[in-house]
With several copies, the nearest count.
Chain A
Amino acid sequence: MNFEMSDDRRMLADSLGRLLDDACGFEHRTKVAYEAPWHDPAMWSGLAELGLFHAFLSEDQGGFGGAGFDITCVFEPLGRALCPEPVLAQMMGLTLLATAGAETGPALDGTERLALAVDEPDAPWEPEAGSTEFRGGKVTGRKSVVYGGHVADRFLVAALADGKTALVSVAAGDASVTPYGMIDGGGASEVVFEEAPGEVLIADAGAAIADALDRGRLALAAEAVGAMDAALALFTDYLKTRKQFGRPIGTFQALQHRAVDLAIETEQARSIVIRAAAAMGTEAQGKAVAQAKALTGKIARLVAEETIQMQGGVAMTWEYPSSHYAKRLTMIDHQLGDAMFHTERLAKMV
């Protein structure tokens, strides 16, 4: 038993943390996160140069990582910094390209940007339930809230082909893309395919997509833990320094006990993410990831609501970073299945 990060991962996480301190400071981050194109090419290049994307693939696949803990050691710092870059989309895309045995070089070095086009307006989080079709070499359908779609060069699309869910590659130029920003910063897009030429990467892609989604969920859960840590640090600092009725508000017992509960729940979140990271690639993956996503989603919302409530008005303002953590912590639950969605999946496994 060992809960220390390996030296390699610690070095990567530390380098990433330093890069984000420089390239993703609060003011710059807020600007990038909320203004078109919701993306900073320099930040992206910095991440790529760090070799970040190589951490998502195994050595066999041309990377130097690929394990669950490689994902979490990257996404925790991204969460702490509220980094708005579409690293999640790149990670899931790379996973699928590697599974398909397709060329990963340009995506690994960050020159090609990928986005996974899975959700549809009436079928969020359920790739099998979509109605997008692939027929005669062409894709037709609509994908909704495609994270990273605002800057993607290529879409990896879940589409029905011959009664199966296939993974089809479509160049961004062949789709109609409507980019937009998100309430918690960063970008996404609506993507409409009308007879768009596509190349099948995996003909029967159900399992491959499910695996990529699981890796994405693990990443989001780790990102949430990073954001919780940062939000709690701001919050405890505020409780220690802000005075009301002549003393720091952190001396009021009712707030103390609620603050402690947030700290406990954040440790719970950290633990369940460790559990899920360790379970990647094993039989336990599906259940452990669902637990991690559901529990972090629930706790993230609690941290968001309670840190606003206890800090009061200031945490309602745009100028104070706490509000942005609250938004990210809340909206992270809307990606790749919310706490209810995964709890329901788990309820069927009990």
Chain B
Amino acid sequence: MDLSYSPEEQEFQDEVRAFLSEKLPGELSNKVRRGQELTKADYERWHAILNARGWLGGAWPKAYGGQGWSAIFQHIFEEECALAHAPRIVPFGLKMLGPVLMKFGTEAQRAEYLPRILDGTDWWCQGYSEPGAGSDLASLRTRAVRDGDHYIVNGQKTWTTLAQHANRIFCLVRTSTEGKPQEGISFLLMDLDSPGIEVRPIRLIEGGYEVNEVFLTDVRVPVGNLVGEENTGWTIAKYLLGHERSNIAMTGFSVAALDGLKKLARAVRRGGKPLIENPLFAARIAEVEMDLEAVRITNLRMLARAEKTGAPGPEASMLKIKGTVVRQALNDLARQALGPAAAPFPSEALEGNLALAPDGHAQAAASYFNNRKISIYGGSNEIQRNILAKGMLG
């Protein structure tokens, strides 16, 4: 038993810290810390900084311009980034499509798309969910019908995150209605500029715009944009889901949020004293903190196992559930801590002498509402429980 990083891992951790302290622009980290919406330029700026260091695709094999990071290196990198309030890396190209192309793509597809992901030429988005197919993804109905060298695609995708910034989309589409629903799905790449594609923003609960509907009407897609064989899209989707497990527990974000919460509870006063001296509120912080500490260790256990066996095991679903619950509990306490000051919207409107919340917390309520999403997307916590139940009870 040894919970500490190896000397090599520690050295890498130091390296990441030094890099972040030197290269992460304060404008960006302040925006992240305050929960403000990032612009497309913000993301691109950060991606470019990372790419210059060769770390944007750090987990990619060296052959594709990456560093071939182990799961633990990847974890260290992401945790440090979160602690430093770096913008998150937009995952659709780097963590989703990239690995899919490496495993299922043709040589030509890899050569065309992988470099454009790293250098920022392409911004991908993900066309999975549909209005009628959320948790039950396999019931998707967007049709792709072969017409010579093209597929003609008709249908609708939804919850497409940051599609407003994207120029490309990878989609699950139905190419056959025979057999089980899973068997007729294909994985198709599209140019968002194609005629017949329309992106419409969806406004979210807290007022922001980060997801979209994508309408597909007689969109012509070259057959060369098919990834893998026709009707094998479900295998690819499952691979992607099983592969994309790093940062699933979001412990880096949560550790940073806990730190922010404690500062907030010291700054805010209730009953004439700092809120952190309130025994009930302090006990709640203590309770979240012990849960977070346990999630952090469970996360390390999963990483160690993945390093050995190559598979994350059922801990992945557990981490998704517990990691999101802890993160939401932290959002909840930050919102609560502000009392009446949490309610004004948008809080940035109140500045200077009239500012209501300590720096970094004006968006506490908005972040709380927005983060209700994390236990819904990427396979809701209910779906994760179904998966775990199958393993546990057969």
Contact = CB atoms under 8 A, between A and B. Distances in A.
Contacts of A144: 340-341, 356
Interface in B1-58: 1-6, 9
Contacts of B139: 244-246
A317 B204 contact: yes
A274 B296 CA distance: 11
A257 B389 CA distance: 7
Contacts of B354: 178, 190
Interface in A68-123: 69, 119, 121-123
B299 to A, nearest CB: 9
A228 to B, nearest CB: 13
A277 B3 CA distance: 10
A295 B271 CA distance: 21
A31 interface: no
Interface in A1-47: 1-6, 34
Contacts of A335: 340, 343
A275 B340 contact: no
Nearest to A146: B340
A263 B388 CA distance: 9
Contacts of A291: 289-290, 293-294
B373 A268 contact: no
A274 B303 contact: no
Nearest to B332: A301
B235 interface: no
Contacts of A256: 385-386, 389, 392-393
Contact of A295 (B203, B294, B376): B294
Contacts of B377: 313
A343 interface: yes
Given A123-B272, A318-B204, A347-B279, A312 B345 contact: no
B394 to A, nearest CB: 6
Q: DSSP majority for the A interface?
A: helix
Contacts of B164: none
B382 interface: yes
B304 A240 contact: no
Interface residues of A, number: 90
A163 B134 CA distance: 61
Interface string B352-394: 0010100000000110110011011100111001101100111
B393 A184 contact: no
Given A183-B365, A272-B294, A316 B204 contact: yes
Interface stretch (B107-115, B142-150, B221-229, B280-288): B280-288
A131 to B, nearest CB: 11
Contact of B372 (A123, A240, A305): A305
Contact of B393 (A34, A122, A250, A350): A250
B262 to A, nearest CB: 6
B375 A180 contact: no
Nearest to B2: A2
B216 interface: no
Given A1-B3, A312-B380, A317-B205, A350 B9 contact: no
B393 A236 contact: yes
A334 B339 contact: yes
Contact of B392 (A6, A260, A269, A308): A260
B202 A275 contact: no
Contacts of B262: 350
Nearest to B368: A330
Interface in A162-221: 178, 180-184, 188, 190
Interface string B157-170: 01100000000000
A183 B340 CA distance: 11
Interface in B324-339: 332, 335-336, 338-339
B276 A350 contact: yes
A124 B268 CA distance: 10
Given A1-B5, A271-B298, A327 B205 contact: yes
Nearest to A344: B280
Contacts of A243: 132
Contacts of A5: 1
Interface string A243-264: 1111010110111110111011
B59 interface: no
Which of A278, A319, A340: most chain B CB closer than 10 A?
A: A340
B123 to A, nearest CB: 22
A145 interface: yes
B294 A271 contact: yes
Which of A1, A123, A240, A349: most chain B CB closer than 10 A?
A: A1
A278 B1 contact: yes
Contacts of A270: 298
B244 interface: no
19 contacts: A5-B1, A123-B272, A145-B356, A181-B345, A183-B342, A183-B344, A236-B393, A256-B385, A259-B392, A268-B322, A271-B301, A315-B205, A316-B372, A317-B203, A318-B202, A318-B205, A334-B340, A344-B279, A348-B282
Interface of A: 1-6, 34, 69, 119, 121-126, 129, 144-145, 178, 180-184, 188, 190, 236, 239-240, 243-246, 248, 250-251, 253-257, 259-261, 263-264, 267-272, 274-275, 277-278, 288, 291, 294-295, 301, 305, 308-310, 312-313, 315-319, 323, 326-327, 330-331, 333-335, 338, 340-341, 343-344, 346-350
Closest 10 CB pairs of A and B: A271-B297, A183-B345, A347-B282, A256-B389, A318-B203, A346-B286, A145-B340, A323-B205, A250-B393, A244-B136
Given A3-B304, A251-B393, A264-B388, 14 more contacts: A1-B2, A1-B72, A144-B341, A180-B349, A183-B206, A236-B392, A248-B393, A250-B393, A260-B388, A274-B301, A309-B376, A309-B382, A315-B205, A316-B372
